[in-house]
Amino acid sequence: MTDRVWFFAEGDKQLGPYPESQLRDFIAGGKVSAATFVWTEGMSGWQRAGDVPGLIPDRIAQPAPPTPPGAPQRRDTMARGGLRSGSPGSGSLGIDFGIWDFTWRSIVLMLCSFFVIPLPWVLVWYLKWLAPHVQVPGRPNLSFEGTAMTIVPWFFGGVVVIVALAMTGSEVIGNLSILVQVVLYWLFVKWLIANLATDGRPLGLGFSGSVWAYLGWTLLGIVSIFTIIGWAWVYTAWTRWLCANIQGTRRAVVFNGSGLDFLWRAIVTIIAASFIIPIPWAYRWMMQWLASQTELVER
C-alpha cells in the first residue's frame, strides 16, 4: 500500500496524485479527514478515507461523495466531458516540474542538438527526467524506458542522407531533406509512445498513424503559417490525430483544445519568450494547458 499514489476531493476539485506517505501527513495535519473522499488505483470508485481499511481508524458516515471534474469517477455518476461512469482511471493528464530543473536540462538538450552526435543520449536522458512529471489517471509513476541505441541507427542514417542530399548542390534534391526529417520525427513519435511505462512495466502502447498522413499534416502545417492565424487550428487538429492513433490501451486518448484557445495562449507565450527570462514559466504554463486538454476516455 505504501507504493500507491492517491487522489482526494476537496470541495469540487480533485487534488493529487500524492504518495501515500504524503497523504498520511495530510491526515495527521487534518487536511484529509475520515469524511474526505479518496481514490487510488485498484479501487472501484471514490470512498471515504475512513472506509479504507488501514487508512483512518474511525469511520464517519457522510453524504454521497462529490465528483471532481477530470477525476476518476464513481460508478453511480455520469462524468462530465464524455467520460463514462465507473471508469476510475479516466480524466485529464497533468504535468508539473521545477523551473530550474526544466531550464538547465532544456539548455543542455538544445546545445547538444547543435552538436548532433550526443543528441540521442541526451534526448533519452531528458525524456527519462520529464516522463515522471506527467500525471496520468490510473497510471502512477509514469516513466520512459527507451534507450539511445535503439534510435542511433535511423537517427544517424537520416543525418547521413540529409548531408548527402545537401552535397549534391541541387536545390530541388536538397529539399528532399525535408521528407527525411519528417520520417525521423514520425519514427521518434512511434519510439516515444512504445517506450512509456508505469512502475517500470511497459504499457504496451503503439502509434498507428502512417508516415504519409504525418507528412500530410506537416505540409498542411507549413502552408497554414501563411494564413497568419490558421496554423493554430491545424496544430490542434494535428494533435487530435496524433492522440487518436495511440493504440494498445482500453482508454482512448482525446485532445479537446480548440484552435482559438491555443492561438491566444501561443501569442502570450511568444510575447513572454521575447523577454527571455520568462521563457521557462511560459513554456510550463503552455505545457500544463496542453496536458489538461488531453483526456483518457473509456472506449
What does the pLDDT look like over 204-230, one tens digit per residue? 899 999 999 999 999 999 999 999 999
Same domain for 129 and 246, yes or no, is yes
d(C-alpha 158, C-alpha 164), whole Å: 10
- Put residue 141 in one of left, alpha, beta given phi > 0 → left and psi -120 to 50 → alpha: left
Angle at 125 between CA 187 and CA 121, to 5 degrees: 60
d(C-alpha 78, C-alpha 297), whole Å: 12
Residue 32, CB half-sphere, CA atoms under 13 Å: how many? 28
Q: How many other C-beta atoms can be found within 10 angstroms of the C-beta atom of residue 34?
A: 18
Same domain for 13 and 157, yes or no, is no
Write the CA distances from 100 to 97, 104, 124, 131, 280, integer angstroms.
9, 6, 19, 17, 8
Strand partners, 247: 206
Same domain for 148 and 214, yes or no, is yes
* Confidence at residue 44, expressed as pLDDT on a 0 to 100 scale: 66
* Confidence at residue 189, expressed as pLDDT on a 0 to 100 scale: 98
Strand partners, 117: none
**Cβ(238)–Cβ(217) below 8 Å:** yes
d(C-alpha 112, C-alpha 118), whole Å: 6
At 96, list the grid cell. 508539473
Residue with cell 552538436: 115
Same domain for 95 and 186, yes or no, is yes
Same domain for 190 and 260, yes or no, is yes
d(C-alpha 78, C-alpha 31), whole Å: 27
d(C-alpha 278, C-alpha 280), whole Å: 6
Same domain for 98 and 69, yes or no, is no
Query: Which of the four pLDDT bands, split at 50, 70 and 90, describes residue 84?
Result: very low
* Confidence at residue 3, expressed as pLDDT on a 0 to 100 scale: 66
What is the residue range of 197's domain? 91-298
Would the pLDDT of 76 be above 60? no
- pTM of the predicted structure, to 2 decimals: 0.71
Same domain for 51 and 173, yes or no, is no
Domain boundary among 24, 55, 89: 89
Strand partners, 92: 295
| CATH code where residue 44 lies | 3.30.1490
* Confidence at residue 175, expressed as pLDDT on a 0 to 100 scale: 85
Domain boundary among 65, 89, 113: 89
At 166, list the grid cell. 545537401
Same domain for 179 and 73, yes or no, is no
97-114 pLDDT, tens digit per residue, is 999 999 999 999 999 999
Same domain for 44 and 170, yes or no, is no
At 290, list the grid cell. 496542453
* Confidence at residue 38, expressed as pLDDT on a 0 to 100 scale: 85
Same domain for 65 and 140, yes or no, is no
Task: Give, to the nearest 10 degrees, the angle between helix 99-115 and helix 119-130.
Answer: 160
Q: Parallel, antiparallel, or unpaired for β 47-48 and 91-92?
A: unpaired
Same domain for 32 and 165, yes or no, is no
Domain boundary among 89, 112, 130: 89
Same domain for 72 and 7, yes or no, is yes
d(C-alpha 244, C-alpha 247), whole Å: 8
d(C-alpha 119, C-alpha 108), whole Å: 10
169 against 102, higher pLDDT: 102
At 102, list the grid cell. 526544466
| Structural domain total, the chain | 2
